[in-house]
Chain A
Amino acid sequence: MSTLTPDPAAPVAIERRGIRLGDLLFKGVAGVAALGVTAVLGFLTYKIFALAWPAMQKYGLSFIWTEAWNPNTNVYGALTFIYGTIVTSFIALLLATPLSIAIALFLTELAPRRLASPIATMVELLAAIPSVVLGLWGILVFGPWIANHLEPWLQSWFGFLPIFSGDPSQAGLLPAALVLTIMIIPITSAICRELFSRVPHDLTDGSLALGSTRWEAIRRVALPYAAPGISAAVLLGLGRAFGEAIAVTQVIGSGNAINRSLFPPGDTLASRIASTYQGASNNIEVQSLLYLGAILLVVSLITNVSAQAIVNRFQKARRMSTG
């Protein structure tokens, strides 16, 4: 018996030592990775600003509200691109948010499980389409369809709105916004699905037991519960839309002017950088493109930080109300 007692202790001790080594290694790797990413972000931001500095000095803040991009006379301004970025992203959000919520609700609350999981997979596969492929489809199929069918239809019903005036065009702000919508939906709907599946069943069941309909249970219980997460998901989608370059470049048509209508070509910050950086022939053009990059970076950082802030605030509020 006495020989048995130390036996179980011995492997434990060895195992402990193993854990410690593993812990140490893991801590090191994880720490380096985390600090590394932070350092990269800081360095990148610094470098973009440093490289764009000559353009910032030359054009100052008025760059932001100047509507010009002329490599011949070296007059540059960002307004057309800021306008294009905001308009395309917000239309994309406006369309993608309700659709994503509907998809997520269908998958978590309404669809039978046999149907739900293949559909969920398909929606997520949408995210796997490389944006350049989506852009090609935009040039060859989607853009012409918009110009020949969607835009004339919009015009015949809502032509009195200035945003649907003018000649239909296969490349423009509207095609870009719709391509962005397709790109955002998988991200926001996946997050929303996750959020709805976390709504405690006690709550929805309780609501149903009190006599509310399925829709009432969703509206009064599930939606408020998931609201903070949804707003964060939307902001993440917005970040994606702001930054998307290639697919937008392919369908937006590189316009140089701000139009009231959504039909004619425009351009976004990211897409102007993508389409002209490689061939930029002089320093000030490159620096101006980097200035656009700096604006985009700042806007994206602000979007992401506010997404986090919103989540934190809602969580605090919820903790206080439930606790």
Chain B
Amino acid sequence: MRKALGLALVVATVVAIAAVVGAASAAPAKKQDTSISGAGSSFVFPLVSKWIPALGSAYGYNVSYSPIGSGGGIAAVTARTVDFGASDAPLSADQMAACKGCVQVPWALSATSTPYNLPGLNCVVRLTGPILADIYLGNTTKWNDASITKINPKCNMPDTKITPVYRSDNSGTSYNFTDYLSAVSGTWKSKYGPGVNQQWPTGVGAKGSSGVAGVISKTQGAIGYVDVAYAKANKLRFASIKNASGKFATPGLRGIKAAAATLPKKITGDGSLSIVNPKKGNPLAYPISTFTYVIVPTSSSKSAELRKMVYWAVTRGQTYGPPLLFQPLPLNVQAFAFRQIKQING
């Protein structure tokens, strides 16, 4: 009896293995070719997840998107494991060359906020670019540092240690933030520069916007940077930042719009548009605003669909933005996007 049971067990195991192997080899049955896969920026994910059902009803496309981070999105589209990538950091010349026939299209516009944790403080903390740089360089370590109290006369800044929090994974938000730090601090620019990740000299690293927000909410005196949609959704309090006109601006739609308005009327080049620290004369501009990009191979089996999808995103898709704190693209950027889209499937 027991032997029979043993035998049955062995046979069952063999059958099970065979079944699994069989199932695995049968799995890649192709779906319809209107399914489009993308990966990358988590910054743009809230907007893309609104677009997905709308694209489904407009064109019947079955779009899937994995918010694995901008760096991963660039790597994925370069390896062609997805149909499009998304990144908040524009492709570098090297990355553009490695992607072999890719085009980047600005398809959303938003900002990076700087949330902080100072319980009991009933005012909005004001900061400047150089102060932020000094905090992340480890030079300014207390909230009641003279440089901070000077511009916050209405706030009673506490004698709390500042804990800067950064993204430990490669992220477009880090790019936007360090692009800004490089624009306002010569030291930051020469030592670190803009990048999706850094050899951060001080502070605490955490994975993803949620990780950064988690550390901030649990650490008194912490400051970090997350996309403003995330900060708003999670009711984080964030600083207002001094722009080049000397005004303190918050990352609202108005501030983002004013920053984007500083771009020239006719936009040329490879598609990378930096709008951090816009020059004087834009008193409303929020200085850590950013475009985020979709990266599409110029020729692929789904070129026609991708072209339609991106065109929809930069036109109809923009109307989904404002509730999520994505400012619709200005007309000059939209016109530039159209020209970029034309390169798809040349």
Contacts and interface: CB of A to CB of B under 8 A. Distances in A.
A282 B169 contact: no
Given A18-B3, A279-B72, A256 B161 contact: no
Interface string A102-120: 0000000000000000000
A254 B10 contact: no
B272 to A, nearest CB: 15
B284 to A, nearest CB: 32
Interface string B166-201: 101111000000000000000000001101111111
A254 B68 CA distance: 18
Contact of B205 (A15, A26, A72, A255): A255
B196 A281 contact: yes
A170 B205 contact: no
Given A169-B163, A276-B170, A140 B3 contact: no
A171 interface: yes
Contacts of A147: 219
Contacts of B4: 18
Contact of B13 (A15, A29, A253): A29
B232 interface: no
A272 B13 CA distance: 38
Contacts of B206: 171, 253-254
Main secondary structure on chain B at its contact with chain A? mixed
Interface residues on A, range: 35 or more
Contacts of B94: 282
A278 B67 CA distance: 11
Given A70-B199, A71-B195, A256-B201, A170 B215 contact: yes
Contacts of A29: 10, 13-14
A143 B218 contact: yes
B6 interface: yes
Interface in A251-301: 253-257, 265, 267, 275-276, 278-282, 286
Nearest 10 A/B pairs, CB to CB: A254-B205, A281-B71, A254-B168, A279-B69, A279-B170, A72-B195, A279-B71, A70-B199, A253-B204, A279-B72
A257 B69 CA distance: 24
B335 interface: no
B199 A140 contact: no
Given A70-B198, A254-B205, 20 more contacts: A18-B3, A18-B7, A22-B6, A71-B197, A72-B197, A139-B218, A147-B219, A249-B207, A253-B215, A254-B168, A254-B204, A278-B69, A278-B72, A279-B169, A279-B171, A280-B75, A280-B170, A281-B95, A282-B75, A282-B94
Contacts of A254: 166, 168, 204-207
A39 to B, nearest CB: 16
A122 interface: no
Contact of B72 (A72, A253, A280): A280
Interface in A90-131: none
B10 A22 contact: yes
Contacts of A143: 218
Interface of B: 3-4, 6-7, 10-11, 13-14, 68-72, 74-75, 94-95, 98, 161, 163, 166, 168-171, 192-193, 195-201, 203-207, 211, 214-215, 218-219
A227 interface: no
Contact of B170 (A19, A26, A249, A281): A281
A2 B196 CA distance: 91
A140 B215 CA distance: 8
Given A25-B10, A281-B75, A256 B200 contact: yes
Contacts of A140: 214, 218
Q: Which of A15, A18, A70, A280 has the most CB of B within 10 A?
A: A280
Contacts of B197: 71-72, 276, 279
A171 B3 contact: no
A32 to B, nearest CB: 9
